[in-house]
Chain A
């Protein structure tokens, strides 16, 4: 490269630093957001995978209704490289410094689910514990957690000590999000977990087994799931074997005990028989003697007579005693037999244990994380695309302007004999350098900060580690290509036309772009009303088409982003309220067992309960060809059902289904692509499959539901749909914590879910939406500023002469700025108007992407959001104008005297 030529390029950059920066910044924005958003999910996944690997989250969790023995654990340990550890856990009410809280105590399993110590240290004695870092305030180090007296015997028995000393705070891979789970103890919500050494528990059998399997795949990736599926089968077969064995051993042990008791009893009975016989003998002998005595009574002296009589009486008394003893023994034996019989029948009813192999995806934190982290990648395509489009337009207009300015220079170089390529390279280098700098800067800042900003939002729910930085060379290269392609491509296009001209033509000033009548002028009555400053603006707007597009797309994009941001909030913010104020009208969902009628009666006679409804609820799968959706099945023969679950679709009420029909929730219908009149397949268990006709789809936001009649339920599940849950409505102003405790205190109640608890929990997690809105607003502002700055910059640069002229003509400062900015304001309005429907589209796209199976978001944007988005866009434009007005002020009037360049 010729040095002089290189110099002009460097000087060009120096002299037009604003323009250079415009290309640089828009490239940086595009690349930054693209790279940042693309890398967010991988970074989050990598962070979580690292944490889970370091703390070694279980791969499988095994459960059995009969518990596990040491031998069971050994049966898994070492098989195919697996490590298995038995573990205890128990929910209990504990008295801590933070008051009475519900804790879940886990045993520390060596090498699996390792708690990460945040402060303090792991327990060294059996009566020490480490506590969930989330509730470190309630249980500071050095304090004790007392096991409350009100705990069930089972809980009190399972815990060896009555109090545990807190020696540290930990995070657990078992709980990566804020969710601690529900319980049948106390308020029904677990406040936090604690970890105890195994010796802190006192239990015959392990409650669960954690298995660490040799899986190479990273957490959340498909390879992991595939490998896990294979190992899962192996584990299942061992588990079934062990389950049978455990059953057998319990059965046999009990049987042999029963048998030995029976034998003892039989022996005793035989002894009794012998004694009975002896007594009979004695009785006969007595009778003999008595007869002899009566026969020879007359031959005996009075003395002899008295003596024999006494002997006989004694004997009679002994016999009576013996008879009584035998009678007692007989009843005792009968009782023993009854006990044994009962034990026998109990043993008969002992069933083979239910066994479960649970993978990581059944861990709430893990599953939620997988779902939530996917949301970001869904939006990581659309937003950057918008930025890229604007970047192309910005580059195009900027380079076109630059080529215009350099026309004469191009002519000079050309006439000096420089080749087209050399001349072109100036522009390519200029835009290329800007793009390169933007790419590097944008990538570095974007890939570092964007994931961190989003991670901070997620940290409200997932709070366990600092985010890992992920470098993706492919993405790095892709961004480079996109940036360079966009900048150099537009530069090439911009100067191509000029290079075709002959030098002589280039050296002469370019004929100014002809003023043209615009279509508005044809509308005479309208055009006449314009003052001509307005006419100039109107003509200018339509003079440069690509600037018009840049503005409309840029500003429209900004408005669209704002509408989307606010719309996301609108769509999510209120669903909690809608769900529990308009659809699920009950306050408690109580699972019950045993004599359900009397449990129901006890429940509705509680103080503070207004009414109740017995329902049958269970879990089924709804399927179509591709999807399989976990769904709640509800059924009730009570006509008051709709007082508790308001079935409606918009304003239209939905009827409770007839036999053969089903009513499903909107979320389920959407995921499965089902509309009213279609058939739906209900899967229950492994094999059972029933088809119903969908007679209605009702609005619903949380979870998925299908509602059937009782007899259809029986068809679907194969067992009678008897009441197993009660929906309760509380009277107004009822303290929910206390009432929940009283509800769970009723025998036969297995779990209580309070809707107000759920509302609070979901609401707090939805607060993070606000951060996303802020983030979107910042993106939109950045976009608006770049576009507006660039356009103002070009407008001013291009019209320096015109501005100088009108200044000379005596336009006041405000008139001058109006003259320039009226056009920008008008374009801003047009862009914003275009942006509103665009925003609606973008919003519904984003909402579709972030649709998760258990939550159905409403696709809704309030009028306010549109207004605010519009207003903010206009405010951005005014801010830029204020900033640029200073530039206008600096324009020297003597510029008007100079010759045309």
Chain B
């Protein structure tokens, strides 16, 4: 099986009291190694639930999820933590940097908990922020913060980089720069990158586009000629 990520018939039901909310329903898709995948859909379609499950932050109600032939859906809590620790890199919409740590230290925070991390300074250099390494998050712009966040995720050398609306809180130009960074990383290092967004314009930059609607995958499309981010307008 050359599929890197496999979602098979995944259903997630949230229960609040007696109310059941079906967030995901019989979702099935695959992602190949080294792909840049964009998952796109309107808000409330189940993108975040999908990301949560894929990122090992949430369990599912039924179905199976594999990453590199390992069934994540069968993991217990501790295994999930280990999975997040070593296999997954996260980039959040609101960066989620630790306010009390400098840029470098924020990267180290992630690096120090995994086995074979990239040196923090190297990761920062990769996102072009070597000169800001001693600054605290509040002293950085939004785009810079997001780049630190990407460096933090990247320093772990994860198998999968998950990005939740990475440009959601950024202005157009900065957002574009961040996306470019992600695309370049995917291309240059061969890392599998999953970007979740509601902005369908971004589909053009992806190798694979998964459209989500009403809690299920409505279509999966392969993009033969992904466009560089610079050429995308929205």
Contact = CB atoms under 8 A, between A and B. Distances in A.
Given A531-B112, A809-B109, A811-B113, A802 B136 contact: no
A220 B98 CA distance: 64
B109 A810 contact: no
B96 A893 contact: no
Contacts of B138: 511-512, 514-515
Interface in B161-215: 164, 169
A515 B52 contact: no
A104 interface: no
B48 A815 contact: no
Contacts of A809: 84-85, 90, 109-110, 113, 152
Nearest to B153: A809
B112 A810 contact: no
Given A515-B99, A532-B105, A808-B84, A899 B94 contact: yes
Given A532-B105, A894-B57, A897-B48, A810 B113 contact: yes
B85 A894 contact: no
A805 B137 contact: no
B55 interface: yes
B136 A893 contact: no
A309 interface: no
A84 B57 CA distance: 90
Contacts of A536: 98, 100-101, 105, 109
Interface in B34-72: 48, 51-52, 55, 57-58
Interface string A805-817: 1111111110100
B15 interface: no
Nearest to A516: B136
A401 to B, nearest CB: 16
A637 interface: no
A512 B137 contact: yes
A799 to B, nearest CB: 9
Contact of A515 (B83, B86, B137): B137
Interface in A474-489: none
Interface string B113-130: 110000000000000000
B105 A899 contact: no
Contacts of A621: none
B92 A535 contact: no
Given A894-B48, A897-B48, A808 B55 contact: yes
A894 B58 contact: yes
A540 interface: yes
Contacts of B112: 531-532
A513 B99 contact: yes
A218 interface: no
A532 B96 contact: no
A542 to B, nearest CB: 10
Given A513-B99, A515-B101, A532-B101, A810 B136 contact: no
A893 B110 contact: no
A514 B113 CA distance: 25
B100 A543 contact: yes
Max chain B Cβ within 10 angstroms of own Cβ: one of A515, A893, A900: A515
A533 B98 CA distance: 11
A805 B96 contact: yes
B173 to A, nearest CB: 21
Nearest to A894: B52
B78 A812 contact: yes
Interface in A484-526: 511-516
B73 interface: no
A805 B92 contact: yes
Nearest to B80: A810
Contacts of A894: 48, 52, 57-58
A897 B101 CA distance: 20
A426 interface: no
Q: How large is the interface on B (under 10, 10 to 19, 20 to 34, 35 or more residues)?
A: 35 or more
A812 B76 CA distance: 13
B82 interface: yes
Contact of A810 (B51, B81, B105): B81
Contacts of B137: 512, 515
A802 B109 CA distance: 12
Residue from A536, A801, A808 whose CB has the most chain B CB atoms within 10 Å: A808
A604 B88 CA distance: 95
Contact of B58 (A531, A532, A893): A893
A805 B101 CA distance: 14
B18 to A, nearest CB: 20
Contacts of A805: 92, 96, 98
B93 interface: yes
Most buried by B among A532, A543, A802: A532
Contacts of B86: 810
A808 B90 contact: yes
Contacts of A802: 96, 98-99
A808 B57 contact: yes
A533 B99 CA distance: 13
A893 B138 CA distance: 23
Contacts of B109: 532-533, 536, 806, 809
Contacts of A514: 99, 136, 138-139
A531 B111 CA distance: 12
A651 B217 CA distance: 90
B144 interface: no
Interface in A812-834: 812-813, 815
A893 B52 contact: yes
B11 interface: no
Given A809-B110, A812-B81, A896 B136 contact: no
Question: In the complex, which of the residues B81, B85, B96, B102 has the most CB atoms of chain A within 10 Å of its own CB atom?
Answer: B96
Interface in A536-572: 536, 539-540, 543
Given A515-B138, A801-B96, A810 B82 contact: yes
B165 to A, nearest CB: 9
A711 to B, nearest CB: 80
Interface in A843-901: 893-894, 896-900
Contacts of A540: 100
A801 B100 CA distance: 13
A894 B23 CA distance: 14
Contacts of B108: 532
B100 A539 contact: yes
A897 B92 contact: yes
A897 B164 contact: yes
Contacts of B105: 532, 535-536
Contacts of B81: 807, 810-813
A810 B84 contact: yes
A25 to B, nearest CB: 30
A899 B94 CA distance: 6
Contacts of B114: 810
Contacts of A808: 55, 57, 84, 90, 96
A420 to B, nearest CB: 28
A893 B100 contact: no
A810 B52 contact: no
A804 B52 CA distance: 12
Contact of B92 (A511, A532, A810, A896): A896
A808 B84 CA distance: 7
6 smallest A-B Cβ distances: which pairs? A810-B85, A515-B136, A810-B84, A805-B96, A893-B57, A515-B100
Interface of A: 511-516, 531-533, 535-536, 539-540, 543, 801-802, 804-813, 815, 893-894, 896-900
Given A808-B55, A893-B57, 16 more contacts: A514-B99, A515-B138, A531-B112, A532-B108, A536-B105, A805-B96, A807-B81, A810-B83, A810-B88, A811-B85, A813-B81, A815-B113, A896-B92, A896-B96, A897-B48, A899-B93
